Each structure stands twice: as C-alpha cells, then as structure tokens.
Structure 1
Amino acid sequence: MTPADLSSTVLHAVRRAVDEDALRAPVPARVRVERTRPGGRGDYASAVALQLAGPAALPAREVAEILRVRMAGAPGIGRVEITGPGFLNFTLDAATDAAAHSALVHQVLEREARYGHGDALAGVPLRFSHAPEVRAAVTADAVRRLARAQGASVRISCDGACDPDWTRLGITGDAYARPAPVPPAEPAPAHSPASPTEIRPVPAGAAAGELLARLGPDATRWGLLRPAGHDRAPLGDELLVQGEGNPLFLVRYAHSRARALSRGAELLGFSGGDGRGPGNTQDADEAAFAEPEALALLAAIADHPAVLAAAARHRAPDRLARHLEAVAHAFFDFHDAASPLPVGDEKPSAAHRTRLALAEAAGTVLAGGLSLLGVSAPPYL
C-alpha cells in the first residue's frame, strides 16, 4: 500500500462516517499521511482526526475512534491505533505491502518518465506572467512543465521583451501568448485566465548570457530553481563541483549510477524483476523489499506523484528539486547497504533482480523529475 492508497482509504472512512451521520463535518479534499517518526507507532500516521474535531464539535480522540473502526480490516492495513491527542497510526499488512512494493516498481518502470504525471489540474486553463528577467523566465517555464504534467493548459506572458538567450535555457517561444484584453468596465477576477498569475522570484542579479557562459544550461536552471522563490539563488562555481556536496551532481550521479547498474546486469545476463525484462517483478524477493534502506527508497519513490502535484499547485519547482535530492540520498543508502549486482562468485538471485528493479525505478524517477525542471539526465558522468 502506497501513501496515496492509504490516504484514499482514510478519506473513504471519513466519507463513510459522514454519510452514516456518525460524523458531522465537511469532507476534506485530501488527507495527509506521513511516515511515522522514529520511536512512533506503526508505519504511517495521520492528524486528520485533529483537523476534523473542531468542525465536528467532538474531542479529537472520539473522531479518531469513529474513523478507526471504519478502517479496521481494510485491505493492506494490519492494525490501526490511536495515540496522543488523537493521531491515527497505521501498521501495514506485510504480505499486502510486499505486493504493493512490487506493483509500485512495475508501475514506475512501465510509465517511465511519465510516472507521477496526473490529472490534478485537468482541464484547468492557467496563465502566468513574469518580469523580463532570467530567474522569473526559468521559473515560469518550470511551472508550465509541472502544470502541464498535471493536465492543465498553460500560457505564459512576459511583461517586457524576451531575452534571446532564454532559448538556450530550453524556454521556447510557443509557451508565450499576449494577455487577452479585459474591458475596463468589467475587470476580470483574479482567478480568470484573462488575469495572469504573476511569477516573481527574487531576481538572479545576472543576465542569461552571463550565467550560460559561466555555468552552462543545466547548472544555470538548477541554480535558479533549487531555492524557494523568495530566497536568493546562489549561482557560484559550487554548482559545477563534481562531488556529493553539490546537490545537482548528487542527483545526476545517482541517475547515472542506476543506469550503470542496468548495463552491468546486462553484461552478467540478467535484468530487474524476474529476469524476463525491466519492470517484470513477478518473482520479486520480499525480503529484499523489506530491507530498511529499500523501504526508505520505496517511500521516496511512492511520494513522487504527490510531490509533482503539490509543486504544480503551489507553483514551486523547488519542491521537486528537494524531493529529487531526497530520492538520490535514499538511492545511495540503498545501493551501499546491499548491492543490486552479484559480488565475487555470487550468482544472480531473486534478491539481486529485485534490488536492480528498485534501482532502475529510482533512476527513472530522477530522470523524469530532472526533465520537468528542464535539466538533462546523462547516462554517464
């Protein structure tokens, strides 16, 4: 069971409680679940009962109990407990969880770069405007890519002349449109497509040509997008350092290492899953999925769709950049704990194939995320 599956299960319990008149409160659009912190109970936790307690005019623990009884025995959930002032803690069913992990890896490898793309903004026409400044232009372009990956139609306008050097940063002219005229007597509401949302990050303090000459397109885009829009963007030579202290290098190196594992496995005559091709996880080794480092990497991969949706909704590509860093760190922890490739005289086993499939899934997530940021993901570094 992925975090998204668990969130849907909790939301279904809320709807059921409201429909049965056991709970009188508005049903939220979504329910947030998080990995339990060290020392906590279960695998995941949610504060939804505390959020509903006020509107329901009930103590949070009573709301939690109403939801607990409606989730007990749900597929994939082994145990539901209430802790503290009303937190719901979930322990997943191990057998179901292993099947879900296998299905998750298969889904990632099957969808490839489109894993995590969704319909959260399907049919929504969005318009953005930005100042004639390189960081604003790159941010608007990344927001456009993220929103389109969630089904939105997006157009961008610039408040001044576009810099020709922006094309070298992957910003294409077909993304731009002049704002539709609005009659003075009937101004459009702020959410109307005729009233573009302004994208105004802290300016870079340098022109595109200067940054490209010094950093190149990939480091320039990463350097402009990695910090939150309200923070200054550090654009020094640290973006070019070939070391794990440079987050851009870390993410791209993790991707290239995942691709190297696939090439190494091919030379040894096996591949991820059950040996019949990448993504085929029918013969997955449950013990390999249960290793702590594997579970951490699986959790990061499972979070990817929610991160993409949130980055699009909040116009915050920095959220995706930080998530890719988390996936890269989890990948290296996993890689160092148990090799996906046989060592010495070892023969390829189900555990090796399972680890390889998971490593390939991580590489796929990293490549897809970098693409949405407009940064290349070379197979060799």
Structure 2
Amino acid sequence: MTPEELSATVIRVLSEAVDAGELSLPVPETVVVERPKNREHGDWATTVAMQLAKRAGMPPRELAQIIAARLQHAEGVAGVDIAGPGFINITLDAAAVGELARTILEASESYGHNQSLAGHVINLEFVSANPTGPLHLGHTRWAALGDALSRVLRASGADVTNEYYINDAGNQMDGFARSVLARIRGEEMPEGGYPGEYIAALADDVLAQRGDLAAMDPGEALPIVRELAYAAQLAQIRGTLLAFGVTFDVFFSEQSLHDEGRLDQAVRTLREQGHIEDRDGAVWLRTTDFGDDKDRVLIKADGEPTYFAADAAYYLSKRERGFAEKIYLLGADHHGYVARLQAIAACAGDDPQRHIEILIGQLISVDGARLSKRAGNMIELTELIEWLGVDALRYTLARSPADSPLDIDPELLRSRTNDNPVFYVQYAHARACAAARNAADHGVSHGAPGAGFEAGLLSAPEEEELLAHLGRFPSVVAGAAEMREPHRIARHLETVAAAYHSWYAACRMVPRAGEEITDTNRTRLWLNDATAQVLRNGLALLGVSAPEKM
C-alpha cells in the first residue's frame, strides 16, 4: 500500500462516516499521511482529526476515535492507535506493505508519474543565452535545472513546452558581427567587441562559406557576416545542449517580433487594456499600477522600441499561443525583471499570481576551474562536460535549490566514493542490478506469474523502511512539480539508496550453500528490482543515467 492509497482509504472512511450520520463536515480531497518520527508508533500517521475537528464541531480526539473505529477494519490495515490530542497512528499489514514491490514492477517506468498537474498548459523558458558566444558556466545551472523541472512537470501530468528565447536583435548582434568581420579582415578587435578564440573559429567558418567577404566593402559584408556567424553560433549552442541532454521544443527569435510587427501589435493590445500613456513624445506602460517601481517606456521619443517592448511582445506571444501558465527561469542578475514581468502580465489582463512565475537562480562556481582559452573570459559548458561529465554535472546542479549559491568541488564529483552523491545513487542502482544477476546465477527468479511472491514475507525492519521510502516516491515527484524543486527528487533518491544499502547488508536474497531457494529469496528479488526501478525512474527525471555496472 502506497501513502497515496492509504490517504485514499482515510478519505473513504471519512465519507462513510459522513454518509452514516456519524460526522457532519465537508470531506477533504486530500489527506496527508507521514512517517512518524518514532517507528514504534506505527508505519504512518495523520493529523486529519485535528485539522477537521473545528468543522466537525467536536474535540479532535473524539473525531479521531470515529475515524479509527472505521479505519481499523480497512483492507491492509493491521492496527490504529490514537495519541495525544488526536494523532492517528496506523500500522499496516505486512502483506499490504510488501505488495508495493509488485506494484512498482508492474508500473515499471511509469511508477512515480501522477496526474497532480493534469490540465496545466505550461511554457517553460530557460537558458535563453545570447547567440554571441558559447554556453558557459553561468548557463549550466539553468540548463540542468530547467530540463529536470520540465521532466518533473510532465511526469505530474502537465503539458509542457520547453522554449529558448534567442536574443538575436539589437546592438549586441551588431557588435558580434563586427567582431567576426574584424577577424576575417585581420583588423583590431572593435571597442566593446567579443574576445576569445571562438570568434576566430567563427570567422573561419564564415569564410569557408563566403570566401569573398575579406575583399568586400565592410558595409556590404557586415549583414552577411552577421547572418552566417549567428547561424553557426546558434548551431553550436544547440549541439552543446544536446550533448548535455537538454532539448527544446521551440527556439523563439526575438528578431521575429520586430520583423512581424508584434511590437506595434503589443502596444495596441496594451492600449486597449487601458494601461498605455503617451507623454514626452514616448509611449509608456503604466506598470506602477501593478507594483513596479516606475513606469516603463515601450517606444522612445525617436520612435525606437525598447528592450521592454520586446519583453511585452514576447509575453503576449506566449499568451496568444495558448500558454495559460508561463514560467521564466532567470539568472542571478535578473531580480529587477520580476516586478516588470509581473506588471506586463497584469497589464495584459492576466493574474500575475497564476499566469506567470519567475524563478531566479543563484550563481555557481567551480573550484580549480580555469578560464577557457577558446572563450577568453569564461568556462565553457563543453569544457565542463569533458572535465566532469554530464551525469555528475546534472545531478549536482539538480540536487540543490536554485536560489542557493553553489560551489562545485570537481575532485569530489570525479571521485568514486560514497561522499559523491551522484556516485552513491548510481552505485546503489548498479548494485541492485548486480544483485539481480547474481540471484539469477544462483537460480533465484521472480517465479511464475502469481507464484513465488509473498508480500507478507517482507517483514524485516530494513524491508519495511525501504518499502516506506519507495512508497513515498510518487508524492515526492508530485511535490517537486508543485514546488518547482527538482532537488527534492535527488535528495529522496539518496534516502532510498541509503535504505537499500542497509537492506542489502541485513537481508540475504541468495540462499547460503546447501540451502534451498524459498519464496523469501524470490520475494526479496522483487524488492531488489523494485528499488532499482525507483532509482532508475528518479535519475531519469533528473536527466542522469542509471548504469547497470560501475
């Protein structure tokens, strides 16, 4: 029995009590059950009686007694006790606990998936690095976290579109093109240009496509260089993301907002909403109406649009494309964007508390990392992948809250010790796979369908502990999706791994020499393989591999 199934049982018991006239109260849609701190108090506990006592019009302990009287007869429940002012402690039948191993293996890759966010249509924007250079350390955290969050949201039933906003408009692209052209022509780098060997590599790439650029008039050559260098750099960015296991459904061009007249359309839409003001020859959006610290200029007095106008047009584009919920993952230097983006949503007629969500990631650093010679002033993601590996990077970046600064210890991530969290979890999976192979070598198998599995035999304390953590996995996934915190999954996997190692040391799966194979051996193989499945499913949600051998 999973925690979700036990929760449903408590809800059913409450409904039965209401139908029988024993209680008069609205039955909640969810009831939280948790592991008690003291295992002597039972397998699970709930405070539902204390939460509903006021609505029921009776003391919490009296309500708990009504619930317990019915709950103790529920299938899979071995006993119910009431403690203190109304805590309900529940002990499950060993067979009901052990049956979870079969449930997990039957669900296979879908175990942990849930429908808590069914019906939610979400646009998830992350990374969105300028296409003027390679992805670097600053982009790495959101690449890992954004992709993990997308996987977790989808596992919880949401319809998610991963989107990358390409900042391919404005002066930065002109500076980028001038830098590449300077390399092509053998000239000094222009003031404010982009340093690094990658510019030289782009110049070689562009020249290979258009060998006449070096002799061409600079004014004529510049737009050609801009187009070709931009395409080459964007292709390199996309390739790096794929190597990191990150995919996007949409690459949205900022320039397209200008080319398609969407900035003017955004101004008209916001004017119709009543939040546009013309003053001093410029067009302003009154974002102070919705908590921004100052109104924002959309169109300057000279007729040129601002970056803010593009932000507004981009938000409205997402809205028009049918995304009710829009999640932005922004870097540590973007705190000032929060109020203005929320104000755009409000000016557009949306609810900033429901239709837009902005997550700010803190900076990361890597001890011992050197600046990239190729990039000139940064550590490239490609170099990090080569140095530390995709799995170590992704797991490490996913296991910490986004809003906490992170200092990566490369020596730890490269170590094959239990102090290395990704190794610890991956090793638990590999160990379970090795244990299954060893069991097969000794003739231990799951048995024929319906035979060889006796859930009640999984009664050792280590087995009950391991099963409890395996049972919590679906609620951890749902909680990670709701809270936008993939690190909850990583931390839970480490708990599962610890419980598995303790179980492995205490409970033999293969009989000793001369002993016969029993259903205990076969049933423990089910538990072993169920653990491997949960570890595999959790690692997949983080975009991390689950090796069978290490």
Tell me the equivalent position of 2:480.
Answer: 311
Name which of 138, 144, 152 aligns with 1:146.
152
Corresponding residue SS for 1:105 = helix
Q: 1:216 to 1:39 in 2, by over 3 A?
A: closer
Does residue 1:337 correspond to 2:412, yes or no? no
- What amino acid is the match of 2:539? L
Contact kept? 1:223, 1:234, Cα under 8 Å: no
In the alignment, the residues of structure 2 paired with residue 367 and residue 227 of structure 1 have an alpha-carbon distance, to the nearest angstrom, of: 20
Tell me the equivalent position of 1:244.
Answer: 418
Deviation of 1:5 after TM superposition, in Å, equals: 1.8
The 5 A counterparts of 1:276-315 are 276=448, 280=449, 282-285=451-454, 288-315=457-484
Tell me the equivalent position of 1:111.
Answer: 107
Corresponding residue SS for 1:290 = coil
Does residue 1:201 correspond to 2:361, yes or no? yes
Larger mean Cα displacement after TM superposition, 326-335 or 30-39: 30-39
Name which of 235, 241, 251 aligns with 1:166.
241
The 5 A counterparts of 1:50-61 are 50-61=50-61
The 5 A counterparts of 1:185-200 are 186-190=348-352, 195-200=355-360
The 5 A counterparts of 1:338-357 are 338-357=507-526
Corresponding residue SS for 2:444 = coil
Tell me the equivalent position of 1:126.
Answer: 122
Corresponding residue SS for 1:70 = helix
Structure 2 unaligned spans of 5+: 129-138, 168-233, 253-313, 321-343, 366-378
Corresponding residue SS for 1:374 = coil
- What amino acid is the match of 1:121? L
Q: 1:106 to 1:79 in 2, by over 3 A?
A: closer
In the alignment, the residues of structure 2 paired with residue 299 and residue 350 of structure 1 have an alpha-carbon distance, to the nearest angstrom, of: 21
Deviation of 1:176 after TM superposition, in Å, equals: 5.5
Corresponding residue SS for 2:249 = helix
Contact kept? 1:80, 1:90, Cα under 8 Å: yes
Name which of 219, 222, 233 aligns with 2:406.
233
Tell me the equivalent position of 1:218.
Answer: 391
Deviations 1:286-307 (A, max 9, x none): 5640111111111111111111
Does residue 1:362 correspond to 2:362, yes or no? no
Q: 1:7 to 1:361 in 2, by over 3 A?
A: same
Deviation of 1:354 after TM superposition, in Å, equals: 1.3
- What amino acid is the match of 1:255? H
Aligned residues: 370
Deviation of 1:221 after TM superposition, in Å, equals: 0.3
Contact kept? 1:102, 1:281, Cα under 8 Å: no
Deviation of 1:356 after TM superposition, in Å, equals: 1.4
In the alignment, the residues of structure 2 paired with residue 341 and residue 179 of structure 1 have an alpha-carbon distance, to the nearest angstrom, of: 59
In the alignment, the residues of structure 2 paired with residue 32 and residue 289 of structure 1 have an alpha-carbon distance, to the nearest angstrom, of: 25
Tell me the equivalent position of 1:261.
Answer: 435
Q: 1:47 to 1:136 in 2, by over 3 A?
A: same
In the alignment, the residues of structure 2 paired with residue 336 and residue 298 of structure 1 have an alpha-carbon distance, to the nearest angstrom, of: 16
Q: 1:55 to 1:214 in 2, by over 3 A?
A: farther
In the alignment, the residues of structure 2 paired with residue 348 and residue 176 of structure 1 have an alpha-carbon distance, to the nearest angstrom, of: 57
CA-based RMSD of the aligned residues comes to 2.5
Percent identity among equivalent residues? 36
Tell me the equivalent position of 1:78.
Answer: 78
In the alignment, the residues of structure 2 paired with residue 25 and residue 4 of structure 1 have an alpha-carbon distance, to the nearest angstrom, of: 22
Contact kept? 2:469, 2:495, Cα under 8 Å: yes
The 5 A counterparts of 1:7-86 are 7-19=7-19, 22-38=22-38, 40-86=40-86
In the alignment, the residues of structure 2 paired with residue 259 and residue 253 of structure 1 have an alpha-carbon distance, to the nearest angstrom, of: 10
Q: 1:287 to 1:51 in 2, by over 3 A?
A: closer
In the alignment, the residues of structure 1 paired with residue 116 and residue 166 of structure 2 have an alpha-carbon distance, to the nearest angstrom, of: 31
Deviation of 1:84 after TM superposition, in Å, equals: 0.6
In the alignment, the residues of structure 2 paired with residue 354 and residue 233 of structure 1 have an alpha-carbon distance, to the nearest angstrom, of: 42
Deviations 1:321-355 (A, max 9, x none): 01111111111111100221233333322221111
Deviation of 1:379 after TM superposition, in Å, equals: 0.7
Tell me the equivalent position of 2:163.
Answer: 157
- What amino acid is the match of 1:65? Q
In the alignment, the residues of structure 1 paired with residue 459 and residue 439 of structure 2 have an alpha-carbon distance, to the nearest angstrom, of: 22
Q: 1:173 to 1:246 in 2, by over 3 A?
A: same
Deviation of 1:37 after TM superposition, in Å, equals: 2.5
Does residue 1:89 correspond to 2:262, yes or no? no
TM-score, normalised with respect to structure 2: 0.62
- What amino acid is the match of 1:143? L
Contact kept? 1:340, 1:353, Cα under 8 Å: yes
- What amino acid is the match of 2:248? G
Corresponding residue SS for 1:303 = helix
TM-score, normalised with respect to structure 1: 0.88
Does residue 1:324 correspond to 2:493, yes or no? yes
- What amino acid is the match of 2:359? I
Larger mean Cα displacement after TM superposition, 217-226 or 197-206: 197-206
In the alignment, the residues of structure 2 paired with residue 175 and residue 255 of structure 1 have an alpha-carbon distance, to the nearest angstrom, of: 34
- What amino acid is the match of 2:442? L
Corresponding residue SS for 2:61 = helix
